[in-house]
Amino acid sequence: MTTPAAVLVDAAAYAVAVQTATKAAAAYYATGESALDDDAYDRVVRGIAAYEAAHPDEISADSPSGKVAGGAVVGDVPHTAPMLSLDNVFGGEEFTTWAASVERRIGRPVERWSVEPKLDGLAVAARYESGRLARLITRGDGLAGEDVSHAIGMIAGLPDRLAEPVTLEVRGEVLMTTEQFEQANTLRTSHGGTPFANPRSAAAGSVRAKDRPYQVEMTFFAYAALPLGPAASGDDLAASLTELPHSDVLTLVAGLGVHTTATTTVPPRTVTDAEAVRVRVEEIGALRAELPFGIDGIVVKADAAADQLAAGSGSRAPRWAIAWKLPAVEKVTRLLDVEWNVGRTGTIAPRAVLEPVEIDGSTVTYATLHNPNDITRRDLRIGDHVMVYKAGDIIPRVEAPVAHLRTGDEKAVVFPETCPQCGSDIDTSEQRWRCVRGRDCHVVASISYAAGRDQFDIEGLGATRVVQLVDSGLVADIGDLFTLTREQILGLDRMGETSTDNLLAAIERAKGQPLSRVLAALGVRGTGRSMSRRIARHFGTMELLCAADAQAMQRVDGIGGEKAPSIVSELAELADLVEKLRAAGVNMTEPGATPPSDDPTPTEDGEPAADAGPLDGMTVVVTGAMTGPLEKLSRNEMNELIERAGGKSSSGVSKRTSLLVAGDNAGSKRQKAEQLGTRVVTPDEFAELIASLLTDDGGGGDNGGAAEADR
C-alpha cells in the first residue's frame, strides 16, 4: 500500500512542511528520537516532493529532497566513496515502474536482483587496515561522517580483527536486537536515565555516547564492502570487491568474520525477475513478526557489478537500488489512560488506553503494559506521547515515552490500592501484582478456562452456563464441577433433560483427561499447555509432582531457578483443590510418561533411560491446516501427540528442527524448512509415523483449536 502524501495547499504549508521534515530528520539521524514516526515522516516528504514538482520555482534551499539524511546532518571525516541513502517505493506497482526505469537506463534486462531486509539501525562505515578495525564513521551527509571509533568493541558482529589481513571498508547497520534493547533499557533506567524510545534511537545514541557509566551491547549487519583507498591497491581480495556481484561481496565479508543477514531467518536472496522480487518481499514481510530485530522494509538491488555501474548513482541515492517500504509497525500516539484488569488467576494486569492510531493495517486503541514495575521503570505518564509497536499478530505494546515531547501537563499513572475486581487487598510482593483471593476473585473466568477444549474439554460448559452455576452456589471452583448431580443441573434455567445428560457425560469424560490437561486446567502461573505437558511427562503422576521441591522442578526442560520455586509454591496452594479433584475420580497420571525414580538407569548423557517413541529426540513443527486422520485435531492436540511420541514440539522452524508437518497453506515455514534442508512430511505421512498413538484415548477432538501459547 502506497503511503499517501501530505497535501500542501500553498507556499506557507510547504514552508512548514520543510521545517517539520528538516527538524525531524535532524533528530532521527542524530539520536533516533524524532517527533515523527517513519510513516508520518514519509507522508511529509512525499508531500514536499509533490509540491516541488508542481512549483519548481519555489523550492526551498532547506528542502530535504534529493539530500542524504534529508540534509540534516554533516560530518568531519570524508568518506572513501559517497555513502548514499536509498529512494523508496511503497508497493508492487511503484516497484515495477522503478525496475523498468533501471532496465531502460542500462539498456538491457537486469541480470538478477538481490533481495534483503532493510535493517532499522544506524548506518556506519567500518575501516579495516591489514585486517584490524581502525575506524568507525557514521554516514553523516553522505560525503563525510562523524568519527565514532570509541564504540569499537561494543558492537557484536564487527570483529576487531578479520580472518584475513585485508584492507577494506565494510558498510552496514548498527542496531539493537529485541533482547539487547530490553537489556539496554534496564541498564539505562537503573542508572537514572529515561528509557530509550525504540531500538533505533537506542543504537544511534549509544554509538555516539562517550561518557556513560555503563555500556550496552549492539549488533552490526553488513550490507556492502569496498576497497579502502591506495592501501588496498596491492590487496587482490579487496581490489576484487568492485567487480564481484553484490551477493558474492556479502559472502566474502561473512567469510572474514563480519555479520551479515545470511545466518538469519531472512537471508539475502537473488532472483531473476520483478515477479520473483514481489514473492520474496511477501515472504520477508510474513516473517517480520518473528525477527529478533526491527526491519522497516526490503532492499532490492541489481546484483551484478556491471549492472550497477551502468545504472549509476544520483547525488542522494544509487539508481540500481531501492527500499521497498513495509507498512509501519511502530507509531507515536498519546497515552490517554491505564486500565487495570484482573485475570482468571487473580493477576492484576495494566493495559494502556491509546489515542487511536493506524499500525500495520489495523486501528490500535489498547496496548499491553507488562506490570506496575514496568510502568515505573519506563516512567510512563498519562498524556505522554508514546512509541507503540505492533508486528504481525502480536499484541501491540508500548515501548517507551517520547520524553522530549513532554509539555509538563502529563500526570502520573495511579496504581490501584485494592483489587479492581472485588476490592480485596493486593499482593505486591512479585512483579505481577495479584489479588489476595487469587482464583476466587475471578472464579467464572478460571472455571471457563479449565473447561476449555485444551484443558478438560467439557463440551456444553460455556461462560454463560458457568455464570449460572456460580451464581446458584453450585460451583465455587473447578473441583465442584465433578460432583454436580442431574437434579442440580436440571434446576438451572434452560436446562432440559437432554442437555443435562449431555453435560454430565462431558464432565464424566473429562475425568479421564491426562495429567497434562489437568495441570493446564489448574492454571498454575508460569506454565501453559506446552509447559504442562513437559511437567506431566517428567513426573508422570500428580503425587510425584506435588512432592517435588524446587531443585527437582528445575530438572524439567524450560524451568529455571526463578520459575521453579513459584511453581512449587503454587502447587502447594492448590493442594486442597487437587485432592478435591482426586476424590471426584479425576485422572492424575500421564500416559506414556516415565516418572523419575530413586535408582534410574542412566543413559550416556546422564538422563534416565526411557522407551524410545517414533519421534524420540526430534524437534517437530506443525504448520498449515491438517487433513486426513489429523483433520480434527487442534494445534494443542497435535503438540500432545508429538510429545507422547517422544518428540519436542516447537512453533518456529530453525536449524534445530528435525521435522516439519506441512498441511494445506503451509506458507513461509515450509519455505524456510526447505531452505534449511529440514525433512518435510504431509499430515498423512505424519499420521503413519505415529499410527500407534492415534488409536490411544489421548488424541482426537471435534473442532479446530487455537494455536498454542504459554501464559
Active site residue 118: yes
Q: How far is CA 432 from CA 179, 353, 558, 673, 695, in A?
A: 20, 19, 20, 38, 42
Strand, coil or helix: 429:
coil
Distance CA 360, CA 329 (A): 5
Distance CA 466, CA 463 (A): 5
Per DSSP, 149 falls in state G
Which residue is associated with the grid cell 501459547?
709
Distance CA 400, CA 265 (A): 27
Q: Exposed, middle or buried: residue 390 (CB in 10 Å: 0-12, 13-18, 19+)?
A: buried
Which residue is associated with the grid cell 506497482?
93
Q: 547 Cβ partners below 8 Å, 6+ apart?
A: none
Q: How far is CA 26 from CA 30, 68, 72, 406, 705, in A?
A: 6, 12, 5, 19, 49
Residues 485, 507 contacting (CB under 8 angstroms): no
Phi, psi of 356 (to 5 degrees): -50, 135
In this structure, how many other beta carbons lie within 10 angstroms of the beta carbon of residue 171? 20
Per-residue burial over 13-50, b if 16 or more Cβ lie within 10 Å, else e, is ebeebbebbbebbbbbbbbbbbbbbbbbbbbbbbbbee
Residues 647, 619 contacting (CB under 8 angstroms): yes
Strand, coil or helix: 161:
strand
Q: 201 Cβ partners below 8 Å, 6+ apart?
A: 31, 32, 33
In this structure, how many other beta carbons lie within 10 angstroms of the beta carbon of residue 482? 18
Among the options 23, 67, 118, 672, which is catalytic? 118
Give me the sign of the Cα torsion angle 604, 651, 456, 700: negative
What does R_g of the chain's alpha carbons equal in angstroms?
29
Quick one: which of 370, 296, 281 has its CA closest to 327?
296
Q: Catalytic residue positions?
A: 118
